[in-house]
Amino acid sequence: MPFASRPLHFPATLPTPSPTSIEGRRPAVPETIGTYASQLSRDRIDRLAPLPRKRSYGWSVLRVASFILGSVVLATYMANVAVTHDKEQRVIALLEERRKLREEEAVLKERLQSKKAGI
């Protein structure tokens, strides 16, 4: 039997919605226009308000861990800079001392040559 030739069965009456809400309570019926308006504005505000989000501790842990890691990296960098600066200062001091010794050596060589020439 083709689909179009089957009889359609509709209920005699459509089911009427029950006067109770999903929770089993009757909906609040406002007694005055003012209470109805305030109820409407509260409903509108409730719909516009963001839904509360479930608190996730993962992001907090991630933020703390990244802060700690960043602090460690910064401290390591600063320690390396301090060590490098200290090494540079020691090298500069050694080069300065070497320059002074060479100048002193040159002065002593001149004196020695002048003594040899004067003898």
User: Could you read off the pLDDT of 4-41 as tens digits, one per residue?
Assistant: 555 555 555 555 555 554 555 555 665 777 777 788 78
Token reading at 29 = 């019926």
DSSP letters spanning 21-53: -TTSSPPPPPSSHHHHHHHHHHHHHHHHSPPPP
Domain ranges of the chain: 70-119
Is 66 in contact with 60 (CB distance < 8 Å)?
A: no
Query: Whole-angstrom Cα distance, residue 117 to residue 76?
Result: 61
User: Could you read off the pLDDT of 49-102 as tens digits, one per residue?
Assistant: 676 777 777 788 888 999 999 999 999 999 999 999 999 999 999 999 999 999
pTM (2 d.p.): 0.40
Token reading at 43 = 């409903």
Query: Whole-angstrom Cα distance, residue 38 to residue 81?
Result: 66
Mean pLDDT computed over every residue of the chain: 79
User: Could you read off the pLDDT of 63-72 as tens digits, one per residue?
Assistant: 899 999 999 9
